[in-house]
Structure 1
Amino acid sequence: MAEITFYDIILDPAAYPMSPNPWKTRYALNFAKVPYRTTWVPLSQIPKTRDSLRLSANRKHMDGTDFPTLPIIHDHPTSTGPSGGTSGGEAVVGDTFDIALHLQNTYLRNQDKAAQLFPGDGGGGTVALHRAFNAFVDQIFTFNGAPLGGCYMPFDPRTAEADKADMVSRFPGKTKWDEFEVPPGTDAREKMVRDFEEVLDTKLGPCYPSSRGPFLDGRETPMYADFIVGGWLQFMRGCLPEWDELRNKWSGGKWGRLFDALEEWTDVDGRDGVVPKRR
């Protein structure tokens, strides 16, 4: 049976997947109940993969050069959704948010309210709010979480040095990977951790009231906004030394509550049954 091909980033083959944007897409694919298979792409092969699918880079590095990245989906003409409808034509989509829109418009538009990535979107208002929320959440984690965890990403041991050197070259003023680390136990790291905790609690925390359901605005069912946050929580789980603290203690434990509530949509395929269990 034809299906969607989902292109995700593979780091260390022995590590659980952790790239935030592909996780947003994986959550959305599982939520939409569309058959798909994962093609795992090493970091060094991402530009070639995008080129082979005739997709230009959709982001920029800090130095202004092209940043070809994943996810991508290749939706084959006979892919079927939860109600048996087909995609109606081939589509290759290479931007995380555009993938969510494709799934919504192609497979979920006629589903009930609880099965919508962008619920209640009659005139595009929910999509616009989601775009703003996506930028808001990305900024929080990119500027506060990634500097604490990014240097601990589990690279493939066979290509780690080359992958790290390539990343270092994109950051002006950096000459080696170790310069990104703020070591645990230092005053500088403790301040950064507490700042991250405060930003999450004061800026994102009000979107998730603890007295109601685990999802955005206290809902009992998720929407794409929750998968945006979930994607970044998966990244933090994979590389942040303070993950257990973030998960169980920050904001009264609401981030762990959300993370656990998203478990239903975390199926991972394509690793021949050897995908490590998440911590």
Structure 2
Amino acid sequence: MKTSLGLLRSLPLALAGLAVLGSCDTSKQGVDAAANASSSATSPAGTSAPRRSSGLPTMQKNGINLTPFDDSPKYTEAQLRLTSPPPGATQPSGAVPFSYELTNFRLTQMTGSEHAAQMANSMKGQHIHNIVDNQPYSAHYETKFSKPIADGQHVVLSFLSRSYHESLKHRGAYDLRVVNVGQAPPTPLNVDLRAPHLFYSRPKDTYTGPAETQRVMLDFYLVNTTLEPGGNNVRATINGTEFMLDRWLPYMMEGLPIGQNTVKLELVDSSGTLIPGPFNSVTRTFTLQP
């Protein structure tokens, strides 16, 4: 009886000890889970875990909703290097050959994000945007291609893009340079590549069906500047309605009418004055159809 009584008296202490051990094990699992989540954010080359949305506020004017988002896969280790043509090079008239080296980024891979189903998405996967003189970009799914460019001096911007055409915006993800085409001495553009520049990217061309027309992404590229409240902004005028953008992010446009739509982008200073530059004011049209 004494032995049984001792066991009964020690049982609560044993159960308490097990609870503590269980608590410690649960805490360890939480730490391990956090570590696994952290390690999954750094994925094999060309992959990345999506981040959770930051809940950025929507701007609303005249039936248009404009919502910034920053929860796409980041690919922060992705690097693009344009090896040909070299800066300032003179290429023969006609198609100019381009050659890139990429690290930690996979062309033709579909970007793993819910946004892939929420807007226009290239079924060919991730790609390179090549922009000449801020004209509409051409999309390329291989690291080597040729592109017809008129004779003269040109500014060429290249950057990496997710499959749904959202640009990668860190320093290693883009290249900006001057290229000369043709044998005649080109007329100098007198473009300072160290100055602030704005380049237009999306929207572009025609969007068809509810999956593409209900939400249309607005995306642009900045070089040598950033956006902030009280600093430089991008003034986006959408179908005549003006929005001031103080974050360099993609924006989801909703409430656009079927038919032709117009977007004007301007890089402005804190007083709303256009910052000088050949590409810092651009207007494009695009079409939505049922």
TM-score under structure 1 normalisation? 0.29
As a proportion of its length, which structure holds more strand?
A: 2
**TM-score normalised to structure 2 length:** 0.28
- Structure having the higher helix fraction is 1
Higher relative contact order (CA 8 A, sep 6+): 1
Which structure is larger by alpha-carbon Rg, 1 or 2? 2
